[in-house]
Structure formats: structure tokens, C-alpha cells
Amino acid sequence: MKQLVLLRHAAAESIVKQPNEIERQLTAVGEMEIQDVAAQLQQIPIIFDAIICSPAQRTRQTVDVLVQTLQLSNDLVSIDERIFQNVEAGVLDLISEVDQAIETLLIVGHNPCMSLLARYFCPDVVESLPTAGVCILELPDQDWQLMQVADARSKILLKPEH
């Protein structure tokens, strides 16, 4: 069974402070949020085979904290512009291109796309993902290209506890 893990980046500085959208950085609160969620992920028996994130600074920083906390290899991480574009169709195309050997895929991106994708695969996910929110989906199909609407079961929803 494949697992698709969707992670919304942690809290970032406002667009007023950093008008260049791709350069917005995590705030101190955002760093605490992702550390908290990473600690929760340590309690779950989950092994990421691949991590794909947006090129935005805040998503890369979110991934950096996660990789360090979970003691993962940076070799697992790749960047894909389609996640920054924040359009579900682009991210669905990206997922369909994932190597079939990958069993557990983590995508780190932005709302509303991350929340919409969670609902696309699992309509019982009704809440929007908060910053640093995680949705772990179990997909019955063994082929990333064959995933369909409403195929998944929501296994776990995580959010910062502070």
C-alpha cells in the first residue's frame, strides 16, 4: 500500500515583510511548529522514500528542520516548481510521475493546494491543514499513476500542539 504524506509549510513571514513570495522565510513560530510536528512524526513508524518540496524558501526550511529532526538523508529531497505554482493538477501530474519503487512519498507545499489534495484523495478530510499540518493518506493502489479521487483513507492528521 502506498502512502502519500502532505505537509503544509510552517508559519512564514508576511508578504508585507517580504514581498518576494518565493523568498519568504519561516518565523520563530514556524520553526517551533515544524519541530513539534517532526517530534510527532518520530512517534509514528513511517519511513519516507522520497520528499518533494516547493522551491520556496519557507518550504525548503520546513524540510530542513524535518530532515534534521528525523535524521533523514538529504538525498531523499528534490525540488519541483509545480508545487510552488499551487495548482492541484500540477501536483497530481507530479505524483503520477513518481517512481513505482517509492512506497511513501512526502510532498511539502502550500495551501490551498495541500488541503485540496487531501480532500481530493480522501473526502472525509474536512478541515484545512494549518501551517505545519500533516495529512498521511493510505492509497490502496500500488501504482502512482492509477490513483483516483476518493481512493485514499486518511490515516493520520497531525498539527502543531503549541
In a domain, 105, yes or no: no
In a domain, 88, yes or no: yes
Q: What is the pLDDT along the chain (162 residues), one digit of tens a residue?
A: 889 999 999 999 998 888 888 999 999 999 999 999 999 999 997 899 999 999 999 999 999 999 999 999 999 999 999 999 999 999 999 999 999 999 999 999 999 999 999 888 887 776 889 999 999 988 877 788 877 665 677 777 889 986
In a domain, 65, yes or no: yes
Alpha helix (H) residue ranges in the chain: 28-42, 57-70, 81-84, 88-96, 113-121
In a domain, 9, yes or no: yes
In a domain, 112, yes or no: no
Q: Are 79 and 46 in contact (CB under 8 A)?
A: no
The pLDDT score that the predictor gives to residue 121 is 82
SS3 157: strand
Q: What is the number of domains present in the chain?
A: 1
The pLDDT score that the predictor gives to residue 17 is 81
The pLDDT score that the predictor gives to residue 16 is 85
CATH number for position 89: 3.40.50.1240
The pLDDT score that the predictor gives to residue 123 is 79
Q: Which residue has the cell 520553526?
A: 31
The pLDDT score that the predictor gives to residue 138 is 86
CA nearest to 136, candidates 112, 116, 155, 108: 155
Q: What is the pTM (predicted TM-score) of this model?
A: 0.93
CA gap 121, 148 in Å, rounded: 7
In a domain, 67, yes or no: yes
Expressed as residue numbers, the domain containing 62 is 2-98+120-150
In a domain, 160, yes or no: no
